[in-house]
Amino acid sequence: MNNLQKMEKIGLELYGPNWITPMSRLLGINDSTIRRWLTGKSRVSITIANDIPDALTRKFNDVLAMANADKMCGDDVTIGMIVEIADKYKFSDEQRREEAIKAMKNAVYDTTYLSNLESIAKQWAAI
């Protein structure tokens, strides 16, 4: 497999049939450059084999950081934080709010994502 085939295969796997523009953004190059490579109008960069893994690693690390942005040790989740989350929502009455807070407390584990607590509060909130 040559570098162009490798890039195309990875692009299709990541982004589907419209892979050229997102892949060009990932690599920090103009999408017309990739199109010229595909049509044979210009030579494929000899560094592309190095650029792809580096770009994928950066992107993966960025996405992983987003996924873990609200990850906390359960011991660090305070009742104040739980109440603050609950107070973002409107509840039909105080009992419903207290039940939401109780449910959130019960959802605190060794590793807790605040977005999970947020989802619980939203479920208990008045719609």
Question: In the predicted model, what is the mean pLDDT of the chain?
Answer: 96
Q: Band the pLDDT of 127: cuts 50, 70, 90.
A: low
Instruction: Say if CB 54 and CB 63 are below 8 A apart.
Output: no
Summarised one tens digit per residue, pLDDT across range 68-81 is 999 999 999 999 99
> Which pair of structure tokens corresponds to residue 69?
């942005």
pTM of the full predicted structure? 0.73
* End-to-end Cα, the chain, rounded Å: 55
DSSP code at position 107: T
Nearest to 52 by CA among 29, 18, 82: 29
